[in-house]
Protein backbone atom coordinates (compact mmCIF):
# COMPACT_ATOMS: atom_id res chain seq x y z
CA UNK A 1 0.00 0.00 0.00
CA UNK A 2 1.36 3.41 -0.96
CA UNK A 3 0.73 6.24 1.47
CA UNK A 4 0.01 9.60 -0.09
CA UNK A 5 0.28 13.01 1.47
CA UNK A 6 -2.32 15.78 1.20
CA UNK A 7 -1.18 16.60 -2.32
CA UNK A 8 -1.28 13.03 -3.63
CA UNK A 9 2.47 12.53 -3.51
CA UNK A 10 4.11 9.40 -2.24
CA UNK A 11 7.32 9.36 -0.26
CA UNK A 12 8.96 7.99 -3.41
CA UNK A 13 8.48 11.42 -5.04
CA UNK A 14 10.67 13.01 -2.38
CA UNK A 15 13.23 10.19 -2.54
CA UNK A 16 13.54 10.90 -6.26
CA UNK A 17 14.37 14.54 -5.59
CA UNK A 18 17.01 13.55 -3.04
CA UNK A 19 18.53 11.04 -5.47
CA UNK A 20 18.71 13.64 -8.25
CA UNK A 21 20.43 16.14 -5.98
CA UNK A 22 22.92 13.54 -4.68
CA UNK A 23 23.82 12.17 -8.12
CA UNK A 24 25.17 14.61 -10.71
CA UNK A 25 23.71 14.41 -14.18
CA UNK A 26 25.87 13.14 -17.04
CA UNK A 27 27.29 15.62 -19.54
CA UNK A 28 25.83 15.98 -23.03
CA UNK A 29 22.15 15.92 -22.17
CA UNK A 30 19.66 16.60 -24.99
CA UNK A 31 18.96 20.31 -25.62
CA UNK A 32 15.39 20.25 -24.29
CA UNK A 33 16.29 18.47 -21.06
CA UNK A 34 16.82 21.61 -18.97
CA UNK A 35 13.63 23.27 -20.22
CA UNK A 36 11.62 20.16 -19.37
CA UNK A 37 13.35 19.94 -16.00
CA UNK A 38 12.57 23.59 -15.25
CA UNK A 39 8.91 23.09 -16.19
CA UNK A 40 8.67 20.04 -13.94
CA UNK A 41 10.16 21.96 -11.01
CA UNK A 42 7.75 24.87 -11.62
CA UNK A 43 4.84 22.42 -11.67
CA UNK A 44 6.00 20.79 -8.44
CA UNK A 45 6.31 24.17 -6.72
CA UNK A 46 2.82 25.16 -7.86
CA UNK A 47 1.32 21.93 -6.48
CA UNK A 48 3.09 22.36 -3.14
CA UNK A 49 2.21 26.04 -2.64
CA UNK A 50 -1.47 25.45 -1.85
CA UNK A 51 -1.07 24.98 1.90
CA UNK A 52 -4.26 26.90 2.77
CA UNK A 53 -6.36 23.82 3.65
CA UNK A 54 -3.65 22.62 6.04
CA UNK A 55 -2.85 26.02 7.54
CA UNK A 56 -6.51 26.95 8.04
CA UNK A 57 -7.30 23.68 9.78
CA UNK A 58 -9.73 22.66 7.05
CA UNK A 59 -7.57 19.58 6.43
CA UNK A 60 -5.49 17.60 8.91
CA UNK A 61 -2.86 14.96 8.37
CA UNK A 62 -2.70 12.13 10.85
CA UNK A 63 -0.54 9.11 11.36
CA UNK A 64 -0.75 6.09 13.62
CA UNK A 65 2.21 6.16 15.97
CA UNK A 66 4.13 3.22 17.35
CA UNK A 67 1.88 3.42 20.40
CA UNK A 68 -1.14 2.65 18.19
CA UNK A 69 -2.64 6.10 18.74
CA UNK A 70 -3.53 8.46 15.90
CA UNK A 71 -1.39 11.63 16.01
CA UNK A 72 -1.88 14.94 14.18
CA UNK A 73 1.18 15.53 12.00
CA UNK A 74 -0.18 18.55 10.12
CA UNK A 75 2.32 21.10 11.48
CA UNK A 76 5.23 18.77 10.75
CA UNK A 77 4.14 18.39 7.13
CA UNK A 78 3.47 22.10 6.70
CA UNK A 79 7.06 22.83 7.71
CA UNK A 80 8.26 19.98 5.48
CA UNK A 81 6.36 21.41 2.50
CA UNK A 82 7.77 24.89 3.18
CA UNK A 83 11.33 23.50 3.21
CA UNK A 84 10.64 21.53 0.04
CA UNK A 85 9.29 24.66 -1.69
CA UNK A 86 12.44 26.58 -0.70
CA UNK A 87 14.65 23.78 -2.03
CA UNK A 88 12.72 23.57 -5.29
CA UNK A 89 12.84 27.36 -5.61
CA UNK A 90 16.62 27.37 -5.19
CA UNK A 91 16.94 24.70 -7.90
CA UNK A 92 14.66 26.74 -10.17
CA UNK A 93 16.67 29.91 -9.52
CA UNK A 94 19.90 28.07 -10.36
CA UNK A 95 18.33 26.79 -13.57
CA UNK A 96 17.27 30.31 -14.53
CA UNK A 97 20.83 31.53 -13.93
CA UNK A 98 22.16 28.63 -16.05
CA UNK A 99 24.25 27.33 -13.14
CA UNK A 100 23.15 23.72 -13.54
CA UNK A 101 23.79 23.34 -17.26
For the chain, what percentages of helix, strand and coil (3-state, to nearest 5) are there? 55, 10, 35
pLDDT in tens, 57-100: 899 999 998 999 999 999 999 999 999 999 999 988 888 887 66
CB 34 within 8 A of CB 64: no
The mean pLDDT value for 10-19 works out to 49
Q: Is residue 54 part of a domain?
A: no
- Residue 43's domain comprises 31-48+61-101
Q: How far apart are CA 15 and CA 21, in angstroms?
A: 10
Using a cut of 0.85, tell me whether the model's pTM lies above it.
no
Q: What is the largest CA-CA distance in the chain?
A: 52
Domain count, the chain: 1
Q: Is residue 89 part of a domain?
A: yes
38-49 in b/e form (b: 16+ CB < 10 A) is eeebeebbeebe
The predicted pLDDT at position 1 comes to 42
Amino acid sequence: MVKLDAFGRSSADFVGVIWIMANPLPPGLPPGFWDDYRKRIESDIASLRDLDPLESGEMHLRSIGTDGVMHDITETWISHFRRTIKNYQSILDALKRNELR
